[in-house]
A = this chain, B = another copy of it.
Amino acid sequence: MELKQYLIEKKRVIDQALERYLPECGGPAGDLIKAMRYSLFAGGKRLRPILCIASAEAVGGSQDSALPAACALEFIHTYSLIHDDLPVMDDDELRRGVPTNHIIFGEAVALLAGDGLLTEAFRLMCSSESLKSVSAESIVKVVELVAEAAGYKGMVGGQVADIQAERKKADKNLVDFIHTHKTAALITASVVCGGIIGGGTGRQVKALRAYGKGIGLAFQISDDLLDVEGDAEAMGKPTGSDERKGKATYPSLLGIPRSKEIQDKLVNEAVEALNIFDDKADPLREIAYYIVRRKK
């Protein structure tokens, strides 16, 4: 299979759905929707929704049934970036080559745009659009697991640990905590909820979870590595910011070669976890390798 073409095609489908789920709108809250849409359409790779759809298809489910949850995951990812970029957090002015949300809309509207995206994610997962092709039982399971992965036991918990670890001497346990919570949790949830929506068996969902954990952590390590070795122009933001902020990362703790070794091991194990699947899981396999070689 040709991964590049696959990613372009899925991104097109997801972007169309996002446009349909969050259309422009006037009225007193018009600026809020503008701000939500600004970051939603600011050039994301759509990795989480693509993983969700690819997992649904790997277990024999349909793309359409996974679209509401897939787009909800992108809402959640986007909200986390907006809040993360705020001056009280990472204070970043540039992301994906464009000014961050609060630079354009001000901090108050950016904060609320994040809140709005997070809340809308859960509405979308439970909307009539979602109920068309997914049972209420599966939807409830998916909301629970996505909320757990995004909340204080997952991503938000990882963010707090990340901020508090700045300028401190972090050990590998803490860096692992931060990475698995801040990034890997939502990526794992994206994969698992695709498997549930697609009607996967318990064994299939378990395999997808193992795959998700592996690529989730590998993805965060590649983020860390790109911040050291990457091309600022390709990424649309300055490199070296982790070091400037004293962030706890794999390269700063273990060095670049060892970080790459760990990353390769994680990706290989993730692909091995997919051995029970046929070629419908090829996109998931290819995405695992892509995560290591990506340039942005």
Partner-B contacts on A (CB < 8 A): 27-29, 31-33, 36, 79, 83, 86, 88-89, 106-109, 111-112, 114-116, 118-120, 122-123, 125-127, 131, 135-137, 139-141, 143-144, 147-148, 150-153, 156-161, 163-165, 174, 177-178, 181
Contacts and interface: CB of A to CB of B under 8 A. Distances in A.
Contacts of A126: 140-141, 143-144, 147
Contacts of A79: 115
A157 B29 contact: yes
16 contacts: A29-B158, A29-B161, A31-B160, A36-B152, A83-B111, A88-B88, A88-B111, A108-B160, A112-B156, A115-B151, A116-B152, A118-B119, A119-B150, A119-B151, A123-B147, A126-B140
Nearest to A110: B88
B89 A174 contact: no
A152 B108 contact: no
A123 B120 CA distance: 14
Contact of A139 (B118, B136, B156, B157): B136
Given A108-B88, A123-B144, A160 B83 contact: no
B33 A152 contact: yes
Given A109-B163, A120-B151, 9 more contacts: A29-B158, A32-B156, A32-B160, A88-B107, A112-B163, A115-B156, A116-B157, A120-B152, A122-B143
Contacts of A106: 88
A158 B127 CA distance: 22
Given A126-B144, A140-B140, A119 B156 contact: yes
